[in-house]
Amino acid sequence: SAAAVAAAALYRVASAASAASAARTLGELAPPRRGVDELIGNTPVMKIKSLSQATGCEVYAKMELCNPGGSAKDRVALGIVRAAEQQGLLRPGFPDVVFEGTSGSTGISIATICNALGYRAHISLPDDTSAEKLALLECLGAHINKVRPAGIVDPEQYVNAAQRACDRLNQSRDASRRGVFADQFENDANWRVHYQGTGPEIYRQLDGRIDAFIAGCGTGGTIAGVARFLKERLGGRLRVVLADPQGSGFYNRVKYGVMYDRVEQEGTRRRHQVDTIVEGIGLNRITHNFSQGEPFIDDAVRVTDEQAVRMAKFLSVNDGLFVGSSTAINAVAAVKVAATLPPGSRIVIIACDSGSRHLSKFWKEALGVRNDTTLEEVLAGSK
């Protein structure tokens, strides 16, 4: 019959099209990788449908949670280790040790890279770090040193503890092993990996059409590297916005030029004294990596824990995008920034890590959020 002929023709067209798209996909596949280190970077960019529809802008996520160690910190850990090798501080083939003070993601990435490249990892962290991050470090066989939460001027603070442990190894009689202090806050290799990798990838993946870039700031490495690269290409056409959680001083720094500001009392409460469920971003001091990014930051947006919690559930239910707290903060900031931009503007956020790393703290709260929560209700969240 005519219908059968038409159906057969349609089928031929459809299968030719799918063969073409399969060929295109296969053509893009990379050859076998020689180790976990070669899986790092080249992460996808994904349009967040729910937020794009609701805001009238195009909201994209750079999916750093697709890295093998689960976050953007894989790039940083690899960059720091490679730089240390180049300086002769780490010796391939020796059981040298990388020391770091970190509340989680970077420790997991350093442990991952060390295992992949034949080194050891020694991680100092505050004892309130989420249970799943601790468990992951244990699974990776890292040496773990738990300290109590403290300010950076306290010698017991985890970054200082890591530095001291490293010094101890290097001053010991044991010449078979050397230690290197990764020092992600001050290490120049941090922002450079984002300048050389994350930034150019985003630019290429979106054909250079980007109106706003939004990221939180822990060390500042991500925003420094990406913003610097994108600003060099796009200049004033691009707005770089820092998304900042409760208790962090960066917001006031960007808005008013001071970390602690009487205009907003919140900035006077140190981050480690605030009962926050958001991990990985927010700080009350200016680090080398933040300084590298500061000239390229146009504005800052404050996001509450409650907004982040509601946004995380919103993205999970509406997009199948299961994210951690810092990604949720960036997504809330994206909605706020979208309201200030012309319709159709393109906004890129960093999707830093997955929700599975935040089950016991952040997602315990997010579980209580209704499935049908609207974006207006997400934004109304304050604590």
Q: Which residues bind ligand PMP (CB under 6 A)?
A: 71, 104-105, 216-222, 280-281, 324, 326, 352-353
For ligand PMP, the closer of residues 289 and 345 by Cβ is 289
For ligand PMP, the closer of residues 197 and 218 by Cβ is 218
Residue 375: CB minimum distance to ligand PMP, A = 22
Fill in the DSSP letter of residue 266: G
**Residue with the shortest CB distance to ligand PMP:** 280
Q: H-type helices in the chain, by residue range? A: 2-28, 49-55, 73-86, 105-117, 131-139, 158-171, 188-193, 199-205, 221-234, 250-256, 288-293, 305-319, 325-338, 362-366, 375-380
| Marked catalytic residue, from 73, 133, 231, 255 | 73
* 364 counts as catalytic: no
Angle (CA) 276 282 284, round 5°: 105
β-bridge mates for residue 144, sequence order: 123
Cα(27)–Cα(35) distance, integer angstroms: 21
Torsion sign across C-alpha atoms 316, 321, 323, 329: negative
Residue 236: CB minimum distance to ligand PMP, A = 23
264, exposed or middle or buried, with CB in 10 Å at 0-12, 13-18, 19+?
A: middle
Residue 127: CB minimum distance to ligand PMP, A = 17
Give the list of residues 6+ apart from residue 164 with CB closer than 8 angstroms, or none.
155
Residue 141: CB minimum distance to ligand PMP, A = 21
Active site residues: 73
